[in-house]
Amino acid sequence: MIAFAHSLIENRPMSTDLLLGISIGILAWFIFRVLLTSLYTVDQNERAVKTIFGRAERIPNRTTLDDPIAEGLRPDEQERYNYPQVRVILPGGPYFKWPWEKIHKISIATETVNMAKDPASPSANHNGTLLEAVTKDQLNTGLTGQIRYRVSERNLYAFLFGIKRPFSHIMGYFVSVLRERIANFTAPPEKLGSLVSESASVIGVSINDLRKNLRDLNEHMDHECRTSAARYGIVLDASLITGIDPPAEVESALAAINTAHNQVSSDISLAQAAADQKVVQSRRAVEIETLKAQAEVQPIQKLAAQLSDLKKNGDGALQAYARNIRLSLFSKAEQVYLEVEK
């Protein structure tokens, strides 16, 4: 390079060896730069998508509507979330790419996050620790829990190119579905023994209903969020709502209502148990009396059958049977009163 500078200053032509050295250096630098930036690998928990001049490699004539993940979408949503399917680069390598190509790597590992976290505003929802929702009886209650999610490798286009902030979208979608469910939640009637008593449930105390039906609430959220992979390219593996806390000013009132409700439920259970016991005892008494009646009827029926057989043998046999019966009775009696004709 120094010799090249001196030659420019002195306006002297460069030698052939110098030009050859510069050319070899530039070629070596270009080859090294291409090899260094063109080889890449994909880890086991990663998937990759290649873009050529900014356009992702696509599978011809294939969209998300051809995949089972779109089965839960409504007809109006199918047109909105109709993303092309892209070629997914699986774990392995080293792979080669040209300088005008770019590789987008995405981790598909399952992650857990607090459901109150707001990616757009970390200070929201009490610094991402408590999510607020309004119940059907106009109480502002606090919710705590977690969400397990992962990127769907079957819809990487939506995650990488379809939505600018997919995680913010999926959190907003989850929170909106959860708040709508809590605002309209109605607990099923309680079953006490064989009776279904609507009066046993406390009408209007939705926080109590939510606390007793946390499992149903979690299952409802899993069902409603099953289309998140087709919408945003993120799969919600599970939602776990662990706590529902009422406002501090109504905590004591709810405790009193819970105590009264438990007392009513206990009284109803005891009354049901006593009624069931009486029914069982009545059935047992009917069975005993039926058996007694059958025991008294059977000897009479057998005696009638015997007398019928004796009558078939003639009147003398029946008279002899009656005489023998009378003699056996005389032998057992201590006193006998005979009627004498005058």
pLDDT tens-digit series, residues 102-152 = 999 999 999 898 888 888 888 888 888 888 888 887 778 888 888 889 998
Q: How many domains does the chain have?
A: 3
Considering the domain architecture, whether residues 87 and 212 belong to the same structural domain is answered as yes
Q: For the ranges 47-56, 74-83, 215-224, 263-272, which has the lowest average pLDDT? A: 263-272
- Cβ atoms of 287 and 279 closer than 8 Å: no
Residue 31 lies in a domain: yes
* Nearest to 114, CA basis, from 239, 217, 224: 239
318: burial class by Cβ within 10 Å (0-12, 13-18, 19+)? middle
- Cβ atoms of 237 and 149 closer than 8 Å: yes
Considering the domain architecture, whether residues 151 and 293 belong to the same structural domain is answered as no
Query: How many Å is the maximal CA-CA distance in the chain?
Result: 184
Confidence of residue 9 (pLDDT cuts 50, 70, 90): very low
Considering the domain architecture, whether residues 174 and 149 belong to the same structural domain is answered as yes
Residue 229 lies in a domain: yes
Considering the domain architecture, whether residues 29 and 90 belong to the same structural domain is answered as no
Considering the domain architecture, whether residues 179 and 321 belong to the same structural domain is answered as no
Considering the domain architecture, whether residues 236 and 289 belong to the same structural domain is answered as no
Q: What is the pLDDT of residues 241-263, one digit of tens each?
A: 888 877 665 556 556 666 666 77
Show the domain range for 140.
46-246
Mean pLDDT of 73-91: 89
Residue 203 lies in a domain: yes
Question: What pLDDT is attached to residue 192?
Answer: 41
Other Cβ atoms within 10 Å of 123 Cβ, number: 8
CA gap 123, 120 in Å, rounded: 9
Average pLDDT, the chain: 78
For residue 115, give the DSSP letter.
Answer: T
**Angle (CA) 335 341 342, round 5°:** 125
Question: What pLDDT is attached to residue 51?
Answer: 92
Considering the domain architecture, whether residues 231 and 169 belong to the same structural domain is answered as yes
Residue 205 lies in a domain: yes
Output 264 or 10, whichever has higher pLDDT. Answer: 264
CA gap 194, 12 in Å, rounded: 110
Output 254 or 1, whichever has higher pLDDT. Answer: 254
Question: What pLDDT is attached to residue 49?
Answer: 92
Query: How far, rounded to the nearest angstrom, does the alpha carbon of residue 98 sit from its chain's CA centroid?
Result: 46
Considering the domain architecture, whether residues 143 and 185 belong to the same structural domain is answered as yes
Helices 248-312 and 315-332: crossing angle in degrees, nearest 10, is: 120
CATH number, position 186: 3.30.479.30
- Cβ atoms of 109 and 103 closer than 8 Å: no
Residue 116 lies in a domain: yes
Query: Is residue 178 scored above 60 in pLDDT?
Result: yes
Considering the domain architecture, whether residues 104 and 119 belong to the same structural domain is answered as yes
Considering the domain architecture, whether residues 85 and 199 belong to the same structural domain is answered as yes
Query: How far, rounded to the nearest angstrom, does the alpha carbon of residue 285 sit from its chain's CA centroid?
Result: 48
For residue 162, give the DSSP letter.
Answer: I
Considering the domain architecture, whether residues 60 and 36 belong to the same structural domain is answered as no
Question: What pLDDT is attached to residue 39?
Answer: 84
Residue 168 lies in a domain: yes
Q: For 225, list phi and psi in degrees, rounded to 5.
A: -95, 15
Considering the domain architecture, whether residues 35 and 180 belong to the same structural domain is answered as no
* Nearest to 40, CA basis, from 85, 101, 110: 101
Query: Is residue 194 scored above 60 in pLDDT?
Result: no
* Nearest to 232, CA basis, from 179, 177, 157, 181: 157
Q: For the ranges 72-76, 99-103, 135-139, 220-224, which has the lowest average pLDDT? A: 135-139
Residue 339 lies in a domain: no
Confidence of residue 87 (pLDDT cuts 50, 70, 90): very high
CA gap 224, 184 in Å, rounded: 15
